[in-house]
Structure 1
Amino acid sequence: MAVAVVTGASRGLGRALARALAAEGWSLVLDARGAEALGEVAAGLRSPVVALPGDVTDPEHRAGLIDAARSLGGVDLLVNNASVLGAEPLVPLAEHPLAGFRQALEVNVVAPLALVQAALPLLREAGGRVLNISSDAAVEPYETWGGYGSSKAALDHWSAVLAAEEPELRVWWVDPGDMRTAMYAAAVPEDDGSGRPLPEEAAVPALLELVNGGARSGRYAVSGRSAKEWGR
């Protein structure tokens, strides 16, 4: 049975993707900071699942995630989904708290790379896959999204380098598109998000298509219910 590690799995896209992978028979190692919410997600899944609450910036927590995956059989898929905005609500760069900017870099850039490094022996053994959740803010200069977008731009770049350095793996960095999530509500509280689809309606089918189809490494953007390679 294939094993996936999914960070930020207690809500939004992470929760929806974990549920979809479980429905397809994946064994799961799930991470989130909120123990209660993560436990509720895990309790609703029928696949083998290990739920480990913690902070992805904590080296001991990251090691625990990989150890748990090893106990289930390895790492076939690593989903780096956990993210922070750096400021809630979003603010212009002139007002952006530097502590929040550092936190966004630590959570959105450094921690995912650290998890890849920890999982790499198991990923190589499995010919595995890395799915990094990015954003259109990584490439578009949206006002007030500068801190978050900068972190996702850095994530995109090291993802591309990793794909070049590890050609036996599949590495995807994906803009999941507009979604109705708690993160978006915190970013732009004046927008109720009612016109945006839920993650399971739009992004998850496209991400499953990538995972199941073995698409080549690259940057993808969700369009409709499919993931299109960037620039194609």
Structure 2
Amino acid sequence: MAVVTGGSAGLGLALIRHLTQNGWHVVTDARDGERLTAAVAALPRVAAVVGDVRDPRHQEQLAAEVRRHGRLDLLVHNASKLGPMLPLADVLPGQLEEVLATNVLAPLALTRRLLPQLRGAGGSLVGISSDAAVEHYPTWGTYAASKAALDHLVLTLAAENGLRGYAVDPGDLRTAMHQRAFPGEDISDRPLPETVVPHLLALVTGGGPSGRYRVADLVAEVAR
């Protein structure tokens, strides 16, 4: 069984589709109930839980779904907030705190709730990262800081709990969030999320060593 947060669109939905096509049961969530229900309506073996991943009550709902199933093989922290595209000196403390609440504190709190099932299954813990976590792009600092923190959170939790941990940079994708980062620009040259999912899941379900990975490197390795 897998938990994939932020499953109503983009990479999260692409992950869920691929997992269910391969026989997995999946628990997912999103804040927009209508959008989430419509996105997963035709997919088998999906439990969709409407709510905000930052909300402790919602986190407990997700944990209850996992306990009903009895085990958890894969937890993917995909839900993410872009935040303000501003120079860091112009970012207000509350703006940074809001991004960290979604991208760092919520994944930590949810992982803590699900550790018994993850440890019991010898599962994998995944954080969807970004090249911004290791590069330094003007106006991306708020999001970048949160993704750098998520990388360390995922890999440290995995090391502390005997899990496989993966911080995965999927690359620039044709998603609504990426479009928000480039308002008014044509991002149709970016690949669709569906194109990177097989490589991402081959990594995290293949038993490879914990670490930080770029999907572009995984694709290049397969091509060699």
Among 139, 148, 154, which residue is 1:144 paired with?
A: 139
Cα deviation digits, residues 141-170 of structure 1 (max 9, x gap) = 011100000000111112222232123x11
Partner of 1:221: 214
Partner of 1:161: 156
SS of the residue aligned with 2:97? helix
Q: For residue 224 of structure 1, report the CA deviation from its aligned partner.
A: 6.3
Partner of 2:41: 43
SS of the residue aligned with 1:15? helix
Partner of 1:191: 185
Letter in 1 for 2:46: V
Contact 1:205 1:225 in 2 (8 A): no
Letter in 1 for 2:149: A
Cα deviation digits, residues 88-134 of structure 1 (max 9, x gap) = xx122122233221111010001001111000000011111111101
Q: Which runs of 4+ in 1 moved over 4 A?
A: none
Letter in 2 for 1:101: L
In the alignment, does 2:4 pair up with 1:11? Answer: no
Cα deviation digits, residues 56-107 of structure 1 (max 9, x gap) = 11001001101101212321111100000112xx122122233221111010
Partner of 2:74: 77
The TM-score, its normalising length taken from structure 2, stands at 0.94
SS of the residue aligned with 2:191? coil
In the alignment, does 2:110 pair up with 1:115? Answer: yes
SS of the residue aligned with 2:157? helix
Among 195, 198, 201, which residue is 1:205 paired with?
A: 198
Query: In 2, distance between residues paired with 1:208 and 1:122?
Result: 20
Partner of 2:120: 125
SS of the residue aligned with 1:75? coil
In the alignment, does 2:63 pair up with 1:99? Answer: no
Q: For residue 227 of structure 1, report the CA deviation from its aligned partner.
A: 8.4
The TM-score, its normalising length taken from structure 1, stands at 0.91
Query: In 1, distance between residues paired with 2:156 and 2:25?
Result: 28
5 Å-filtered alignment, 1:23-42, equals 23-42=21-40
Partner of 1:86: 83
The percent of aligned pairs where both chains have the same amino acid is 54
Q: Greater helix percent: which structure? A: 2
Letter in 2 for 1:215: G
RMSD over aligned Cα, in angstroms? 1.5
Query: In 2, distance between residues paired with 1:186 and 1:53?
Result: 23
Question: How many residue pairs end up in the alignment?
Answer: 221
Letter in 2 for 1:73: G
